[in-house]
Amino acid sequence: MIRRLLHTIRKSYEPKALVLMYHRVAELETDVWRLAVRPQHFEEQLQVLRSNWNVVPLPELVLDMTQGRLRRNSIALTFDDGYLDNYAVAKPLLEKYNIPATFFICSGNIGSHAEFWWDELEHLILSTEELPHNLDIRINQELISFELGKEQHLTEDLRQKHQQWKAFVQEPPTLRCALYLKLWEQLKPLPSHLQHQYLQQIKVWAGAPGHARPAYQSMSLEQLQDLARNSLFDIGAHTVSHPDLASLSPEAQRQELVKSKSFLEEAISREVTLLAYPYGSCNPETVRLAAEAGFHAAVTTQDCLVHPTSAKYKLGRFLVDDWSGKRLDACLKSWLTINANAHAHLAA
């Protein structure tokens, strides 16, 4: 009993760190996955981080952890996907406050005008002014038959509900939201070529022109290279096509990891040692393949702290919402306290 108590006490006082997960710095018409922080809030957050916290580069945090010298309450910033606003909006603000960050890049979208499939689907279902009365589509052997009824026409009331809805945090408030979530769940585990094949069918059904929106595009190769030239920033891999890795075969997973790493290393003339699993999805095979591919560590989307004994290929991160700087500061303090106590309790 005493030994367990001492172990719990020791765990509660061991150094702990936090990795923050961002995706976009932008103001979006809808944001069901909480991917965006508005620029004014992002600047407030950077001011708080600069004044009150010890922000370090993620590679440094990982090295400290693996060498047994993790610094208490260290915080690292990360960005997923490689959206253009990371370069156009986040980069200048990070430089202004001299705050380091790691950018996890989907290599397949670099230099492309194409939107990510989830953005395009969200726009088609939640923002198209007029949709057909019903949808019948077979995705991966499952028939989806859905009637929109009066929601064929996008009213101002529907638009406001779509702007406020957060998927998996709240129940779908409209039929359109329910349809979007159903289609997203069916498309997510598929390889990218099938995702785009079915998305094309949905675009034809919706009668949408399919023009890519500039605000939803990824960085160009030149912008990625310019980003990488700044010593404040590190580039990590986020696969080629952003698949649900655990749903793929081992060989398909390996291709996604190896090809993204090779592309990025050639693009920036630097070794790429960090990986972020899309959707946080991984299995033991993914972890093994990540190590074999030459990654030194990998991050998930699970909201847990980094401890000296954390598994370096399954490091947790906390999603940052569109909060004021004051709200972020309160969340950081809460996460560090609650998670430390939970870790100590579980260890006991």
Give the end of a domain, one of 211, 240, 256: 211
State which amino acid sits at residue 220: S
What does the pLDDT read at residue 10?
A: 52
**Dihedral angle sign, alpha carbons of residues 105, 106, 112, 114:** negative
CA dihedral (9, 61, 46, 226) in degrees, to 10, reads -170
3-class SS shares of the chain: helix, strand, coil, % to 5: 50, 15, 35
State which amino acid sits at residue 159: R
Judgement on whether residues 221 and 279 belong to the same structural domain of the protein: yes
Judgement on whether residues 128 and 270 belong to the same structural domain of the protein: no
What is the spatial distance between Cα 279 and Cα 263, in angstroms, rounded to a whole number?
21
Judgement on whether residues 237 and 144 belong to the same structural domain of the protein: no
Residue 53, CB-side half-sphere exposure with 13 Å CA sphere:
29
What does the pLDDT read at residue 209?
A: 77
Give the end of a domain, one of 151, 177, 211: 211
What is the spatial distance between Cα 48 and Cα 54, in angstroms, rounded to a whole number?
11
What does the pLDDT read at residue 343?
A: 44
What does the pLDDT read at residue 11?
A: 55
Which residues does the chain have with pLDDT short of 70?
1-13, 339-348
The whole model's pTM is what?
Answer: 0.93
What is the spatial distance between Cα 216 and Cα 105, in angstroms, rounded to a whole number?
15
Judgement on whether residues 224 and 316 belong to the same structural domain of the protein: yes
Number of domains present in the structure of the chain: 2
What does the pLDDT read at residue 338?
A: 72
Check if the beta carbon of residue 70 is closer than 8 Å to that of residue 309.
Answer: no
Domain that holds residue 143: 117-211
